[in-house]
A = this chain, B = another copy of it.
Amino acid sequence: MSKLLIVGTVAFDAIETPFGKTDKILGGAATYIGLSASQFNIDSSIVSVVGEDFPQEYLDLLKNRNIDVTGTEIVKGGKTFFWSGKYHNDLNSRDTLDTQLNVLADFNPVVPEDFKSPDIVMLGNLHPLVQLSVLEQIERPKLVVLDTMNFWMDNTWDDLMKVIAKVDALTINDEEARQLTNEYSLVKAARKIAEMGPKYVVIKKGEHGALLFHDEKIFFAPALPLEEVFDPTGAGDTFAGGFTGYLAHTGDISFENMKNAVIYGSNLASFCVEKFGTERMQDLSKDDVHERLEEFRALTQFQINLT
Contacts and interface: CB of A to CB of B under 8 A. Distances in A.
A211 B298 CA distance: 12
B226 A260 contact: no
Interface string A281-304: 000001000100100001111111
A184 B260 CA distance: 30
B185 A226 contact: yes
B220 A302 contact: no
B302 A263 contact: yes
A129 interface: no
B300 A300 contact: yes
A63 interface: no
Interface in A196-250: 205, 208-209, 211, 217-220, 222, 225-229, 246, 249-250
A187 interface: yes
A188 interface: yes
Nearest to A226: B187
Given A185-B226, A222-B222, A225-B218, A260 B303 contact: yes
A222 B209 contact: yes
A178 to B, nearest CB: 10
A221 to B, nearest CB: 8
A307 interface: yes
A13 B85 CA distance: 46
Contact of A90 (B40, B184, B264, B300): B184
Given A187-B226, A222-B209, A225-B187, A290 B263 contact: no
Contact of A40 (B218, B304, B307): B307
A188 B227 contact: yes
Contacts of A188: 227
A290 B306 contact: yes
Contacts of A249: 307
A127 interface: no
Contacts of A290: 306
A286 to B, nearest CB: 8
A216 to B, nearest CB: 11
B185 A219 contact: no
B307 A246 contact: yes
Given A219-B299, A220-B222, A185 B307 contact: no
Contacts of A220: 222, 225, 299-300
A259 interface: yes
B205 A304 contact: no
B300 A304 contact: no
A143 interface: no
Interface string A88-104: 01100000000000000
9 contacts: A39-B307, A41-B307, A185-B227, A218-B225, A249-B307, A260-B303, A263-B304, A286-B307, A293-B306
